[in-house]
Each structure stands twice: as C-alpha cells, then as structure tokens.
Amino acid sequence: MAKPKVNIDRVFHALGDPTRRAMLDKLSEGPLSVSRLAAPLEITLTAVVQHLQVLEESGLVHTEKAGRVRTCRIETAGFSALEQWINDHRSLWEQRLDRLGDLLAEPEGGE
Amino acid sequence: MQEPSVVHSTFVIERSYPKPPERVFAAFADAAKKRRWFAESGSHDVEEFALDFRVGGAERLRYRFKEGTPFKGIVVMHEGTHQDIVTNRRVVTASTMTLGEKCISASLVTVELLATDNGTDLICTHQGAFFEGSDGPQIREAGWRHLFEQLAKELT
C-alpha cells in the first residue's frame, strides 16, 4: 500500500545525465514504448535500456513488459520525493531555531 | 483501490537558549525580530513577510529560491493563522505551504517555552499533513516541467 521509498541521491544521480533528462522530458508527455522513446536519441538501444534502469531504480520511471513491448511512464513517487526534499520541514525548522539562537545571542538594545 | 493521498508526519525539535522566556517570546511577537530568524535564509530571497501577532492574526511569508540552489526561481508561500498564544509560554500556529501553484502541506506548529535555571527550553512540535500525488496529471504537466527545467539548469 505504501509508495516505494525513494532515495533522493539516486534521483539527483538519475537527473544528472542529459540523455536521461531528455527521456524524462519525452515521457512527461505520456507513456511510450522503449523503441519509440529511443528513436529520437542518437544512442544504441542498449544504452537506452541502461538509462531506463537508472531511471527506474531512482523511482522516476516505471516500465512494464506486455508481450514483446516494454512501455515506460513517469512514476510520481520520484517526483514526490523531490517535493519532500524541497519541503523538508524539519531541517527548515532546525535552521530557523539555530538562527533564533544567533539572534538571541546578540546584545540587547535597539534594532 | 484508491491509495491515501496524504502523508502525516510529526517531529519535535528542542533547543535551550541562555535567555529568559520573555526574550525568546519577543522574537516571536515582534515582526522585525521574527523575520530575521523565521523568514530570512541564505538559500532564498524574502519577497513578503507580514505578522499580525494575536490569536486569529495572520502570518504570511513568501520567498523565492536563489541562484545556486536546485530550485532557483521557485516561489514558496507560507500562510498561517495563530491559534493560541500564551505570553512567554506558547505560540500555536496553523499554516499551509504552497510551492509554485501547488499547496503541498498543511501544518500545526506548537512552540512551548519553559523557564529553566539557565534560560529557556524551547520545544517545537510540528504536525504536518503532506499532500503528495493527489493531482498526478498536474504534477506531470505543470509542476514536473517547472522543477525539471530548474534542476536541469542547475545540473548542467
């Protein structure tokens, strides 16, 4: 029931490659078979499959094989991890309370 | 079968400050002071901060992530309402956070101040409801593309 845990470092590693970003950009328009995804990229099918593995391991992409066709689609779990990272409320508050300590340590008096 | 679309998360952060509770409370009650520790940060530019420090009063913070952060240019809006205030003892605020166009969480933050021999113990309890995946197509089209573009610029 729970969504798969996503490792944020894996997500950034996945996004660190321009070919993978191009693949994600294409998939954000809708699901595609591996061959249709690979068509505009000027690399071997093997390389595409390797990139897809990285994307799948990072939780950004989900692939499914039906017969001989493997279909790829964007997986929102990876995106959700990004959101949570951006909005890591805990570290946000840790930093705020540290800054409060710095402010309180200043000498009392005018602004 | 539908999956839950909300993740609940509660955390508690404690600090000890070598100042009396009145000084710590003043940093919550005074807008200029609160801005300095609550609103300002090295990773974002504050575009708006307003504080109406009374029960029912609003708190608004709008900021934009800076150059050099992966989310450069993205605007975050925090809007809260004070639920309970006891002078020098506690401040309770309910708020939402919006990232770009999307409301991503609602939180209840309780800050308690306890007088000690050395000053003040502060207990911050943050109870959050994080909304993820509740609008999948929207994420793909708007949110994803926007974040993706920002990340791509940062990573090249």
What was the pLDDT predicted at B137? 41
Indicate whether A51 pLDDT > 80.
yes
* A3 within domain boundaries: no
Is the overall model pTM greater than 0.80, yes or no? no
* B67 within domain boundaries: yes
Cβ contact A10:A59 at 8 Å: yes
* B4 within domain boundaries: no
What was the pLDDT predicted at B141? 45
B151 chain-A contacts, CB cut-off 8 A: 15
Indicate whether B65 pLDDT > 90.
no
* A109 within domain boundaries: no
Determine the residue type at B155.
L
* B1 within domain boundaries: no
DSSP label of A42: S
Q: Count contacts between A and B (CB, < 8 Å).
A: 105
Quote the number of domains for chain B: 1
Residue B89 belongs to what domain range? 17-155
Quote the number of domains for chain A: 1
Average pLDDT score, chain B: 83
Q: Which tokens is A103 given?
A: 């402010």
* Torsion of Cα atoms, B80 then B121 then B43 then A7, to 10°: -90
Say if strands B44-51 and A32-33 run parallel, antiparallel, or are unpaired: unpaired
Closest CB to A87 among B15, B105, B152 = B105
Determine the residue type at A64.
E
CA torsion sign for B40, B45, B51, B55 is negative
* B105 within domain boundaries: yes
| Predicted confidence band of residue B38 (pLDDT cuts 50, 70, 90) | very high
Q: Do B3 and A87 touch (CB under 8 A)?
A: no
Indicate whether B134 pLDDT > 60.
no
Characterise A44 by phi-psi region: left (phi > 0), alpha (psi -120 to 50), beta (else).
beta
Indicate whether B64 pLDDT > 60.
yes
**Least confidently predicted of A41-50, A70-79, A94-103:** A70-79
* B10 within domain boundaries: no
Q: Which tokens is A97 given?
A: 């309370």
* A19 within domain boundaries: yes
Q: Among residues of chain A, what percentage have pLDDT more than 90?
A: 23
CATH classification at residue B73 = 3.30.530.20
Indicate whether B79 pLDDT > 90.
yes
Q: What angle do CA A95, A84, A4 make, to 5 degrees?
A: 140
Average pLDDT score, chain A: 80
A24 chain-B contacts, CB cut-off 8 A: 148
Residue A78 belongs to what domain range? 8-104
Indicate whether B152 pLDDT > 80.
no
CATH classification at residue A27 = 1.10.10.10
Interface test with B, best of A12, A62, A82, A108 (most B CBs within 10 A): A82
* A57 within domain boundaries: yes
